[in-house]
Chain A
Amino acid sequence: MTTNTVVDVHNLEKTYGKANERQYRALKGLNFTVAAGEFVGIMGASGSGKTTLLNMLSTLDVPTRGDVVVNGHDVTKMRGNQLADFRAQEVGFIFQDFNLLESLTAEENIGLPLALKGTSSRVMDQAIHEVAETLSIADLLPKYPSELSGGQKQRVAAARAIVHHPAILMGDEPTGALDSTSARDLLDLLTTINQKQKMSVLLVTHDPFSASFCQRILFIKDGQIGSEIKRGDQDRSAFYQQILNELGTFNE
Chain B
Amino acid sequence: MLGKLALAGIKHRRRDYLVLLVGLTMSAAIFYMFANLATNQAFIKANAVVSQASLIFGFGAVLLILITIVYIMYANSFLLSMRQHDYGLFMMLGATRKRVGELVFLETLILGTLATAVGIVLGLAMSQFLVGLLLDSLGLHLAHLSAFYLPAIVVTGVLYVGLFILASLFNLVRLTRTTVLKLLHTDEQANQPVIHPFRQMVAAVFGVLFLAVGYWAMAAITDLEMTAIPLALVTITIGTYLLFRATILVIIQGLKKTRWAKKHLNGFLLGQLNFRVYNYTRMLTIVSLLFAMALGAITVGSGYHRQLPMMANSLGTYTIAVHNKTAQEQRLIDQLNVKHQATYTQKRQGKVVYYNAAELQRQPFELNKGTTEAKYATHPKYYTESLKQFKKGGSQSLDFLSLAIRSKQGFYAPQFLSARQFAKQPGKTVTVTTVRVKDLNQDRRILKRLNKLELSRFAQPAAMTVGNYQSYELMSGFFGGLEFMGYFLGIAFLAMLASCLMFKILSGAPGDQRRYQMLYKVGVRQKLMRTGIAKEIGILFLIPGIMGVIDVLFGLQMFKPLMQSPMSPYLGIGSIFAIFIGLYAIYYVITLTLYWRIVLPKAPTD
Contact = CB atoms under 8 A, between A and B. Distances in A.
B188 to A, nearest CB: 7
Shortest 10 CB-CB contacts between residues of A and residues of B: A88-B523, A87-B523, A103-B275, A103-B271, A146-B190, A121-B262, A104-B271, A84-B525, A121-B259, A99-B518
A85 B525 contact: yes
A113 B268 CA distance: 12
Contact of A64 (B521, B527, B606): B606
Interface residues of B, number: 32
A116 interface: yes
Interface in A181-235: none
A104 B266 CA distance: 11
A113 B265 contact: no
Interface string B273-294: 0110000000000000000000
A181 to B, nearest CB: 23
28 contacts: A61-B604, A80-B526, A81-B526, A81-B527, A84-B520, A84-B523, A85-B523, A88-B523, A89-B523, A91-B523, A95-B521, A99-B518, A99-B521, A99-B522, A101-B268, A104-B267, A104-B271, A113-B522, A115-B263, A115-B264, A115-B266, A116-B522, A116-B523, A118-B264, A119-B262, A121-B259, A124-B262, A146-B189
A62 interface: yes
Max chain B Cβ within 10 angstroms of own Cβ: one of A89, A101, A103: A103
A111 interface: yes
B267 A112 contact: yes
Nearest to A61: B604
A103 B191 CA distance: 9
A89 to B, nearest CB: 7
A111 B267 contact: yes
A116 B526 CA distance: 12
Contacts of B275: 102-103
Interface in A72-105: 80-81, 83-89, 91, 93, 95, 99-105
B462 interface: no
A116 B262 contact: no
A210 B377 CA distance: 88
A146 B518 contact: no
Given A88-B523, A101-B519, 12 more contacts: A80-B526, A81-B526, A84-B520, A87-B521, A99-B521, A101-B271, A102-B188, A103-B190, A112-B268, A115-B262, A116-B264, A116-B522
A144 B190 contact: yes
A238 interface: no
Interface in A13-52: none
Given A64-B606, A101-B268, A111-B267, A84 B521 contact: no
Contacts of A101: 268, 271, 515, 518-519
Contacts of A8: none
B524 A88 contact: yes
A108 interface: yes
B259 A112 contact: no
A103 B514 CA distance: 12
B187 to A, nearest CB: 10
A182 B258 CA distance: 35
Interface of A: 58, 60-62, 64, 80-81, 83-89, 91, 93, 95, 99-105, 108, 111-113, 115-116, 118-121, 124, 144-146, 160
A48 to B, nearest CB: 21
Contacts of B526: 80-81, 84
A144 B275 CA distance: 11
Contact of B188 (A104, A119, A146, A160): A146
A62 B604 CA distance: 6
A248 B271 CA distance: 48
Contacts of A81: 525-527
A84 B524 contact: yes
A66 B459 CA distance: 96
B518 A116 contact: no
A144 B192 contact: yes
Contacts, number: 94
Nearest to B187: A102
Contacts of B173: none
B188 A88 contact: no
Contacts of B429: none
A87 B525 CA distance: 10
Nearest to B259: A121
Contacts of B265: 115-116
Interface string B562-606: 000000000000000000000000000000000000000001111
Contacts of B522: 87-88, 93, 99, 112-113, 116, 160
Contacts of A113: 522-523
Interface string B524-567: 11111000000000000000000000000000000000000000
B524 A116 contact: yes
B262 A111 contact: yes
Majority secondary structure of chain B interface residues (helix, strand, loop or mixed) = helix
B222 interface: no
A196 to B, nearest CB: 23
A152 to B, nearest CB: 15
Nearest to B190: A146
B190 A93 contact: no
A160 B190 CA distance: 21
B272 interface: yes
A104 B603 contact: no
A15 B195 CA distance: 53
Nearest to A95: B521
Interface in B373-429: none
Interface string B487-530: 00000000000000000000000000001001111111111100
Contacts of B524: 84, 88, 116
Contacts of B272: 103
Contacts of B519: 101
Contacts of B525: 80-81, 84-85
Nearest to B606: A62
Contacts of B192: 144, 146
Contacts of B189: 146
A64 B189 CA distance: 40
Max chain B Cβ within 10 angstroms of own Cβ: one of A58, A60, A104: A104
Contacts of B262: 111, 115, 119, 121, 124
Contacts of B271: 101, 103-105, 108
Contacts of B274: 103
A105 B271 CA distance: 8
Contacts of A146: 188-190, 192
Interface in B157-195: 188-190, 192
A58 B519 CA distance: 14
Contacts of B604: 60-62
A64 B528 CA distance: 28
A17 B522 CA distance: 27
A137 B188 CA distance: 23
A101 B605 CA distance: 26
A60 B517 CA distance: 11
Nearest to A122: B259
Contacts of B264: 115-116, 118
Interface string B346-365: 00000000000000000000
B515 A103 contact: yes
Max chain B Cβ within 10 angstroms of own Cβ: one of A61, A87, A116, A145: A116
B268 A104 contact: yes
A120 B261 CA distance: 11
A105 B267 CA distance: 10
A136 to B, nearest CB: 23
Contacts of A120: 259
A124 B261 CA distance: 12
A99 to B, nearest CB: 5
